[in-house]
Amino acid sequence: RLSLVFFDIDNFKDFNSIHGHSTGNAVLVSVVDRVRGCVRGIDLFARYGGEEFVIVLPETPPGEAATIAERVRSTIESLTVPSPGNDTRLSVTVSVGVSSLGSGYADFQGMLEAANTAERRAKETGRNRVVAAESFTGSTR
């Protein structure tokens, strides 16, 4: 089985616009460092664009993929980065979508689109959560 995790840093534009691009860069580096500790040697973790990332999970059934996605979400939720100019720390969260090949998706592109749609659903329903594409129907299949 092949599964995919697609996630986006919540409110990332605020890190850049309010706290400066150096803070935004620190958030990106910190997120990458944390996620590296969540993935296995066989997984492929990559920046998809901007503040979006994907993790390709070979040999991973849907339930295990959801567990990995939740581990990524909770690991990042515990992350804070220093706020420039004062002693406060900024919280970081992510919205996560997960999908699996063979769960109604004929190819990798379909699986990627489904995970992206699930990630958007996570944002729309409150952010800082994991949504499995298989948990809803419609344009994701």
**Secondary structure of residue 89 in the 3-state scheme:** strand
Task: Read off the tokens for 3.
Answer: 């599964």
Active site includes 134? Answer: no
Helices (H) and strands (E) in the chain, counts: 4, 7
- Catalytic residue, from 51, 113, 119, 134: name it: 51
101 vs 55: CA distance, rounded Å: 14
68 vs 20: CA distance, rounded Å: 31
**Secondary structure of residue 23 in the 3-state scheme:** helix
* Residues noted as catalytic: 51
